[in-house]
Amino acid sequence: MMDARTDFVIAPSPPVSLAVAGSAQRFPVRRIYCVGRNYVAHVQEMGGDVERDPPIFFQKPTDAIVASGATVPYPSVTKNFHHEIELAIAIGKGGRNISEAEAMDHVWGYCVALDMTRRDIQGNGKPWEIGKSFDFSCPCGPISPVSKVGHITSGAIKLTVNGQVRQDSDLSLLIWTLPEIIARLSEYFDLQPGDIVLTGTPHGVGPVEAGDKLVGTVAGLAPLEVTIGPQLA
Ligand code: MN
């Protein structure tokens, strides 16, 4: 919705939106939620214990989105910039305390996303903010509506870097399933239309360098392609 106010003291930021695959329409993005540690083989490669603890949730700023086809600057203050290919859910209907049985009714569509990470400064008991939630940290492909592609709960999820396969898994290996993620997240937050939820990365995460070309795919969805740019000062 356009805001008709004319009394802002500085220009307000433009709304963030994503392309809808096969359409001239746009999906307006309100918040970006992410799930951490949601594939067994990825938890193991990060040195974690595989227990079914409650899912780890964090957020990225909405204006961290980078559209497919664009360049992702190599961020400042890191020497280990990692890719994490993920399936993202686009919420079309909000709610609190959503049941697992009704959770999928809240999904408008799906896209391929990257949870780009400053791995060398993520975690160690500190907040994930500077490791996960920085500028340009959330490339997202076009959103495919459920009305066209159905629900995406299994199938290949893959990332290539310069044509070499780095991550290759299947959505059926998610520890927390999509209905479980939506139900749990809605216990903590009032989900709203326009929210995006990244569902976690499979194993094979690793570093990228300036000039690398990343292509992320999930079976049934439009691909996500980005190029890594020079490091920001
Ligand atoms: Mn992730």
Q: What is the pLDDT of residues 77-108, one digit of tens each?
A: 999 999 999 999 999 999 999 999 999 999 99
How remote is the CA of residue 35 from the centroid of ligand 1, in Å?
A: 6
Answer whether residue 203 shows pLDDT above 80.
Answer: yes
Stated length of the chain = 233
Q: Report the 3 state secondary structure along 136-189.
A: CCEEECCEEEHHHHCCCCCCEEEEEECCEEEEEEEHHHECCCHHHHHHHHHHHC
How remote is the CA of residue 9 from the centroid of ligand 1, in Å?
A: 37
How remote is the CA of residue 57 from the centroid of ligand 1, in Å?
A: 10
Distance of CA 205 to the CA centre of its chain: 14
How remote is the CA of residue 230 from the centroid of ligand 1, in Å?
A: 23
User: What pLDDT sits at residue 2?
Assistant: 57
How remote is the CA of residue 88 from the centroid of ligand 1, in Å?
A: 11
**Confidence grade of residue 21 (pLDDT, cut at 50, 70, 90):** very high
How remote is the CA of residue 214 from the centroid of ligand 1, in Å?
A: 16
Quick check: helix, strand or coil at residue 58? strand
User: What pLDDT sits at residue 45?
Assistant: 86
How remote is the CA of residue 77 from the centroid of ligand 1, in Å?
A: 19
Q: What token pair was written down for 99? A: 């049941």
Which one has a higher pLDDT value, 124 or 224? 224
Give me the domains of the chain, ranges plus CATH numbers. 17-231 (3.90.850.10)
pLDDT tens per residue, range 148-186: 999 999 999 999 999 999 999 999 999 999 999 999 999
User: What pLDDT sits at residue 200?
Assistant: 97
User: What pLDDT sits at residue 217?
Assistant: 98
User: What pLDDT sits at residue 100?
Assistant: 98
Answer whether residue 1 shows pLDDT above 60.
Answer: no
Angstrom CA distances, 147 to 18, 94, 96, 181, stand at 17, 18, 23, 21
Distance of CA 95 to the CA centre of its chain: 20
Instruction: Give the chain's count of helices (H) and strands (E).
Output: 5, 18
The residue behind tokens 């009704």 is: 102
What global pTM score does this model have? Answer: 0.95
Answer whether residue 207 shows pLDDT above 60.
Answer: yes
**Confidence grade of residue 49 (pLDDT, cut at 50, 70, 90):** confident
User: What pLDDT sits at residue 113?
Assistant: 98
How remote is the CA of residue 86 from the centroid of ligand 1, in Å?
A: 7
**Confidence grade of residue 53 (pLDDT, cut at 50, 70, 90):** confident
How remote is the CA of residue 84 from the centroid of ligand 1, in Å?
A: 6
How remote is the CA of residue 64 from the centroid of ligand 1, in Å?
A: 14
